[in-house]
Structure 1
Amino acid sequence: MEFEEVSEPVSPTSQYFNSSVLSLSILAVLEFEVPLDDSQTMSLIQNVFLPINPRFSSIMVTNDNGQKKWKRVEINLNDHVRVPSFPPGMSLEFYDKCLSDYLTNIAMDQFPQSRPLWEIHIIKHPTSNAAGNVIFKLHHALGDGYSLMGALLSCLQRADNPSLPLTFPSSQSSSKSRQNSVSIFRSVPRLLTAMFNTISDFGWSILKSSVVKDDRTPIRSGDDGVEFRPSNIATMTFSLDHIKQIKANHDVVIHPLFL
Structure 2
Amino acid sequence: MAGPGTFSDEPLTPAGRLFLQPETNIVIHCILRGKSPINVDSVKSNVESSIMVQHPRFCSLLVRDKNGFEHWRRIKLDVDKHIVIIKNRLDKSGNFLDSQRISGDEDEEEDEAALNLYVADLSVSSPLSTDKPLWELHILVAHKAALFRVHHSLGDGISLMSMLMAGCRRADDPDALPRLTPEKKTVESKGSKGRNCFWLLGALWGFLKMICFTLIFATEFIFRTLFLCDRRTVLTGGDGVELWPRKLATAKFLLDDMKLVKKAIPNTTINDVLFGVVSSGLSRYLDHRTPNAMHEGLRMTGVAMVNLRAQPGLQDLSKLMQRNSNARWGNKFGVILLPVYHKGGNNPLEHLRRAKKMVDRKKHSLEAYFSYTIGDLVMSLLGPKYACWLNYRLLCNTTFTISNIVGPLEEITIASSPVSSIKVNTSSLPQALTMHMLSYNGRAEMQILVAKDIIPDPEFLAKCFEDALLEMKEAALGILKD
Normalising to structure 2: TM-score of the pair? 0.46
2:133 matched to 1:116? yes
With over 3 angstroms needed to count, the CA separation of the structure-2 counterparts of 1:187 and 1:234, relative to structure 1, is farther
Question: What do residues 11-39 of structure 1 show as CA deviations (whole Å, max 9, x unaligned)?
Answer: 11111101244311111122323333222
Query: Which residue of 229, 251, 255 maps to 1:240?
Result: 255
TM-aligned CA deviation for residue 96 of structure 1? 2.0
Q: Which residue of 2 aligns with 1:39?
A: 41
Look up the SS of the partner of 2:248 in the other structure: coil
Read off the aligned partner of 2:73 and give its amino acid letter: K
2:228 matched to 1:212? yes
Answer yes or no: is the 8 Å Cα contact 1:83–1:123 preserved in 2. yes
> Greater share of strand residues, 1 or 2?
2
Query: Which residue of 110, 119, 127 maps to 1:94?
Result: 110
TM-aligned CA deviation for residue 221 of structure 1? 4.1
With over 3 angstroms needed to count, the CA separation of the structure-2 counterparts of 1:214 and 1:161, relative to structure 1, is same
Work out the CA distance in 2 between the residues paired with 1:176 and 1:202.
39
Answer yes or no: is the 8 Å Cα contact 1:55–1:142 preserved in 2. yes
Query: Which residue of 143, 148, 168 maps to 1:136?
Result: 148
Query: Which residue of 63, 66, 78 maps to 2:65?
Result: 63
Look up the SS of the partner of 1:41 in the other structure: helix
Read off the aligned partner of 2:243 and give its amino acid letter: F
Question: What do residues 61-81 of structure 1 show as CA deviations (whole Å, max 9, x unaligned)?
Answer: 123454321101233322211
Work out the CA distance in 2 between the residues paired with 1:112 and 1:80.
10
TM-aligned CA deviation for residue 241 of structure 1? 3.3
Read off the aligned partner of 1:138 and give its amino acid letter: V
Work out the CA distance in 1 between the residues paired with 2:211 and 2:134.
38
Q: Which residue of 2 aligns with 1:106?
A: 122
Question: What do residues 122-159 of structure 1 show as CA deviations (whole Å, max 9, x unaligned)?
Answer: 23345xxxxx3222111000011111111111111223
Work out the CA distance in 1 between the residues paired with 2:207 and 2:234.
36
Work out the CA distance in 2 between the residues paired with 1:256 and 1:171.
21
Work out the CA distance in 1 between the residues paired with 2:76 and 2:230.
46
Look up the SS of the partner of 1:235 in the other structure: strand
Answer yes or no: is the 8 Å Cα contact 1:157–1:165 preserved in 2. yes
Answer yes or no: is the 8 Å Cα contact 2:82–2:136 preserved in 1. yes
Q: Which residue of 1 aligns with 2:406?
A: 258
- Runs of 5+ unmatched residues, structure 1: 127-131
Read off the aligned partner of 1:158 and give its amino acid letter: R
Look up the SS of the partner of 1:135 in the other structure: strand
With over 3 angstroms needed to count, the CA separation of the structure-2 counterparts of 1:30 and 1:211, relative to structure 1, is same
Look up the SS of the partner of 1:83 in the other structure: strand
Work out the CA distance in 1 between the residues paired with 2:404 and 2:203.
23
Answer yes or no: is the 8 Å Cα contact 1:6–1:69 preserved in 2. no
Look up the SS of the partner of 1:237 in the other structure: strand
With over 3 angstroms needed to count, the CA separation of the structure-2 counterparts of 1:142 and 1:170, relative to structure 1, is same
With over 3 angstroms needed to count, the CA separation of the structure-2 counterparts of 1:96 and 1:255, relative to structure 1, is closer
Q: Which residue of 2 aligns with 1:24?
A: 26
Q: Which residue of 2 aligns with 1:129?
A: none
With over 3 angstroms needed to count, the CA separation of the structure-2 counterparts of 1:33 and 1:66, relative to structure 1, is same
With over 3 angstroms needed to count, the CA separation of the structure-2 counterparts of 1:63 and 1:98, relative to structure 1, is same
Read off the aligned partner of 2:148 and give its amino acid letter: F
Work out the CA distance in 2 between the residues paired with 1:7 and 1:225.
34
Work out the CA distance in 1 between the residues paired with 2:170 and 2:111.
28
Percentage of matched positions with identical amino acids: 26
2:237 matched to 1:225? no
How is 1:2-21 mapped onto 2 (pairs within 5 angstroms)? 2-3=3-4, 4-21=6-23
Tell which deviates more after alignment, 242-251 or 48-57: 242-251
Q: Which residue of 1 aligns with 2:289?
A: none
Read off the aligned partner of 1:136 and give its amino acid letter: F
Question: What do residues 162-219 of structure 1 show as CA deviations (whole Å, max 9, x unaligned)?
Answer: 3333332247558998xxx996255554554455444433322221110112221222
Question: What do residues 36-59 of structure 1 show as CA deviations (whole Å, max 9, x unaligned)?
Answer: 322211111111043352110111
Work out the CA distance in 1 between the residues paired with 2:179 and 2:30.
19
The number of residues matched between the two structures is: 251
Normalising to structure 1: TM-score of the pair? 0.81
With over 3 angstroms needed to count, the CA separation of the structure-2 counterparts of 1:231 and 1:255, relative to structure 1, is closer
State the superposition RMSD in angstroms: 3.3
Read off the aligned partner of 2:227 and give its amino acid letter: V
Tell which deviates more after alignment, 245-254 or 107-116: 245-254
Q: Which residue of 1 aligns with 2:167?
A: 155
Answer yes or no: is the 8 Å Cα contact 2:121–2:245 preserved in 1. no
Answer yes or no: is the 8 Å Cα contact 1:5–1:70 preserved in 2. no
